[in-house]
Structure 1
């Protein structure tokens, strides 16, 4: 029963494809602009580098949003099997308006820092902060955050 999934946050298809599409179009336009009407060499290199970076980000977001974030009684994990944060590591959940959190998501403050990790559109981790959300529906994130707060209250 320890691995029973209590809540799931996954990218909604329209948001996922809109985010990927916008980044891909931006990358394509930057590269097209650099090659069709070449400005000075410095600007051309700048536009090509940022165009390629936008295309890379679109592909990274596509791969990342194929997965989902799952809440179990042990903690948060990705559907790929990667542990995001165990319940024992979490100090508190921040869902406030002014919290530095992803769109439609929430922020976890951990007791110990963890390695940096970024799954664009789904979750990120930096130091003692873990952000869950992005191209995910706010309703799923809200339910997960509330269940996580209940698990933390039960733990304490």
Structure 2
């Protein structure tokens, strides 16, 4: 039963709405300030660009937070089928208070470099590091990190 899901993590509806709402509110606020405040044209263009980028990021985050993460004995992947890391390639799991990781999440270090990827609010991957977290509840992320640690120790 290698395809059996050992742990699963995903964003709840409330976390999705709050996370995306904050990013969208930032974009709308920047656009409002660009339109209503008296400032130079360079600043207005900059505010409009950053506001539009924030609204785009909110839309991408809304789509990404619909995904869930699935941990099996062989791999960690999202519900869209994107492979994040194979369990045999994971070297360390870091979820300490001072670790460079997303909010409520953890960081994986792999043996080999992975292709870059990013699903805002769920995961990102650069080089040998895979970060899980953001809008994922801390209890689900902690359980997943503990399961990966136990699998690496041969306890599961």
Structure 1 and Structure 2 fold alike (TM over 0.5): yes
| Deviation, structure 1 residue 13 | 1.7
| Deviation, structure 1 residue 115 | 1.1
| Deviation, structure 1 residue 36 | 2.3
| Deviation, structure 1 residue 88 | 1.4
User: 1:88 matched to which residue of 2?
Assistant: 88
User: 2:77 matched to which residue of 1?
Assistant: 77
CA distance in 2, matches of 1:38, 1:63: 35
Aligned-partner SS, 2:117: strand
After TM superposition, the score normalised by the length of structure 1 is 0.96
CA distance in 1, matches of 2:67, 2:129: 21
CA distance in 2, matches of 1:38, 1:128: 46
RMSD, matched Cα: 1.1
| Deviation, structure 1 residue 15 | 1.6
| Deviation, structure 1 residue 38 | 4.3
CA distance in 1, matches of 2:19, 2:28: 14
Structure 1 runs (4+) greater than 3 angstroms displaced: none
Determine whether 1:65 maps to 2:65.
Answer: yes
After TM superposition, the score normalised by the length of structure 2 is 0.96
Q: Deviations over 1:19-67 (max 9, x none)?
A: 1011111111111211223411000011001000110110111000000
In structure 1, list runs of 5 or more residues that go unmatched.
none
User: 1:41 matched to which residue of 2?
Assistant: 41
Determine whether 1:26 maps to 2:26.
Answer: yes
CA distance in 2, matches of 1:70, 1:100: 22
Stretch moving more, 32-41 or 92-101: 32-41
| Deviation, structure 1 residue 153 | 1.1
CA distance in 1, matches of 2:14, 2:22: 12
Instruction: Name the count of aligned residue pairs.
Output: 155
Structure 1 residues 1-156: aligned runs within 5 Å = 1-154=1-154
CA distance in 1, matches of 2:101, 2:9: 15
CA distance in 2, matches of 1:101, 1:37: 37
